């Protein structure tokens, strides 16, 4: 049995809630993650790295997008696969969100 680490990171953005939610969905998809739940009315997006049977994906991310345009990202990751801070889904996700916001302005 392996252990998973949970890491949490929060960021605020200066875009509307509706726009931020769509940007977060786009950022998740740009990282080739499989969206397993998206509920805009609740501000929740859950995704994981795709896997092939019989292996189950161990890398997951859950997002809470607030009406105040704050995003909370919680990542679950196998510590044995963590190579550097840049390898975290959370870090790559927030970089993708910033890039998408910059390209939309």
Contact 28, 93 (CB under 8 A): yes
Radius of gyration, alpha carbons of the chain: 14
User: Which of 56, 27, 101, 67 lies closest to 35, judged by CA?
Assistant: 27
Quote the tokens at residue 28: 């998740």
Instruction: Count other Cβ atoms within 10 Å, centred on residue 82.
Output: 13
In the structure encoding, which two tokens stand for residue 6, read together? 């949970």
Range of the domain at 89: 5-104
Specify the number of domains making up the chain.
1
pTM: 0.84
pLDDT digits (tens, 9 = 90+) for 12-67: 999 999 999 999 999 999 999 989 999 999 999 999 887 766 666 667 899 999 99
CATH of the domain at 27: 3.30.310.50
């Amino acid at each position: 049995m392996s252990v998973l680490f949970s890491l949490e990171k929060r960021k605020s953005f200066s875009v509307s809630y509706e726009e931020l939610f769509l940007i977060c969905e786009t950022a998740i998809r740009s990282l080739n993650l499989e969206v397993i739940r998206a509920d805009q009315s609740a501000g929740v997006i859950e995704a994981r790295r795709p896997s092939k049977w019989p292996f189950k994906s161990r890398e997951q991310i859950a997002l809470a997008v607030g009406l105040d345009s704050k995003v909370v990202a919680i990542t679950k990751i196998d510590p044995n696969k963590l190579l550097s801070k840049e390898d975290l889904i959370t870090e790559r996700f927030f970089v993708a969100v910033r890039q998408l916001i910059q390209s939309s302005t």
